[in-house]
Amino acid sequence: MKLIQLEDKYFLYKKIKNINLVVSTANTEFGIHPKLENYDQNIEFIKKKFDLLKIFTVSQTHSNIVHTCDYDFVNGIEGDGLITKEKKCAVGVFTADCVPIFLFDINKQVVSVVHSGWKGIYKEIVVNAIDVFIEKYNSNVSDICVYIGPHNMNCCYEIGEDLKNKFLNHEHFKNNLRIFNGNNLDMIECIKISLLSKGILEQNINVINYCTYCSEEVKFYSYRKNNLSLNRIFSFIFIN
């Protein structure tokens, strides 16, 4: 992804044909969260700059729930993933160390984004998203592409022994030492295991290689750095 500037705000941006992937940054103050006073203002800024009709979001609960969004979708329902075919309508998630995962099928013109912290990874929300592509939109699994977004990477994401053991006893991650560097959890490796188990092609799995905790080139909001702040990264995808 390339870093672009829109007025005084910076975004990571990538376009694949008519599919657009965007991640807000903290290179300048631009936190996005429904509880912030400037939330509506910032959402309107995004809609204007990216020529969007609507932005769909959910009330995130670290679940494995994925919602399909048509033009009349009402924001705020509980869940952690969204998927749509609507043009000029973005689906977006809020993160600050958790993983935003983009999925899309160019042939069927379907896009999705999910919010996945360790709970979402353990519950394999990305598998549920793939199931929606296949069952609702008749996607061929070999056509689904995935981009794993900026998050607290294995360089910085240390967890406790209890959680480590929980992952090492998971059906798909069981005894897979590649998912750990000491007590640092590699969420990318976990996500890849889930994706490959569903038949996603390895060449269709991409990583946006920034750690929200230690990245200096591009800055991000990090809950582990400042757990008192409501500022969040906003990751969204849309078709134009």
Calpha distance 180→183 (Å, rounded): 6
User: Running DSSP on this structure, what letter comes out for residue 74?
Assistant: P
- Specify the pLDDT at position 39: 97
Place of tokens 């429904």: 34
Q: What is the pLDDT of residue 3?
A: 97
pLDDT, residue 128, reads 98
pLDDT at 207: 98
Which candidate, 196, 184, 128, 131, places its Cα nearest to that of 159? Answer: 184
Q: What is the DSSP letter of 57?
A: -
Q: What is the pLDDT, as a whole number, of residue 175?
A: 77
- Three-state SS for 117? coil
Task: Judge contact between 150 and 208, C-beta under 8 A.
Answer: yes
- 68, 58, 191, 70: which is closest to 132 by C-alpha? 68
pLDDT at 112: 98
* 12-60 pLDDT tens trace: 999 999 999 999 999 999 999 999 999 999 999 999 999 999 999 999 9
Supply the pLDDT for residue 47: 98
What is the model's pTM?
Answer: 0.97
Element (H, E) at 218: none
Q: What is the pLDDT of residue 33?
A: 95
Q: Which CATH code for domain 2-156+204-239?
A: 3.60.140.10
Please tell me the predicted confidence (pLDDT) of residue 162. 96
Query: Are 181 and 188 a contacting pair, CB within 8 Å?
Result: no
Alpha helices by DSSP H, 60-217: 118-123, 125-137, 161-168, 187-197
pLDDT score at 176 = 87
Q: What is the pLDDT of residues 174-223, one digit of tens each?
A: 878 899 999 999 999 999 999 999 999 999 999 999 999 999 999 999 99
pLDDT value of position 177: 83
pLDDT, tens digit (0-9, with 9 covering 90-100), for 91-126: 999 999 999 999 999 999 999 999 999 999 999 999
Question: For the chain, what are the domain ranges?
Answer: 2-156+204-239
The whole-number pLDDT of residue 187 equals: 98
Say if CB 27 and CB 219 are below 8 A apart. yes
Q: Taking every pair of C-alpha atoms in the chain, what is the biggest distance, in angstroms?
A: 48
The chain-wide mean pLDDT, for the chain, equals 97
**Tell me, what DSSP letter sits at residue 51?**
T
Backbone phi, then psi, for 230, in 5-degree steps?
-90, -5
